Amino acid sequence: MQKLKAEIVITIPADTVLVTKVEYDELKQKELSGVYWNMKELEERINKNSEWIKENILYPTRFKKTLDSDNGGFVFYPKSKGQTWSFQATKILNT
């Protein structure tokens, strides 16, 4: 049996960097570190309107206990009229 050896040259543009999948995931995670989304940003991310999000995710008791930041979750529920929703981005993506 004969063995052949081939060499391939691939040119990578100067504005491009190759990283491993693990490195890429770590960079994405760091990019969102300390970032909080408002309701509008969450709507855009999950492609659902705020009423659907509230009705199906935020208000049902079985989810609220886990999601509420007062219990260690990543959702900051408005405590009074005029306050806005806030969602910790890194924890949403890891859920």
pLDDT tens readout for residues 21-80: 999 988 888 888 889 999 999 999 999 999 999 999 999 999 999 999 999 999 999 999
User: Could you tell me the pLDDT band of residue 1, with boundaries at 50, 70 and 90?
Assistant: confident
Its pTM stands at: 0.68
Could you list the beta-strand ranges (E) of the chain: 36-37, 75-76, 86-88
What sign for the dihedral angle of Cα 73, 79, 81, 84?
Answer: negative
Q: What is the pLDDT of residue 32?
A: 83
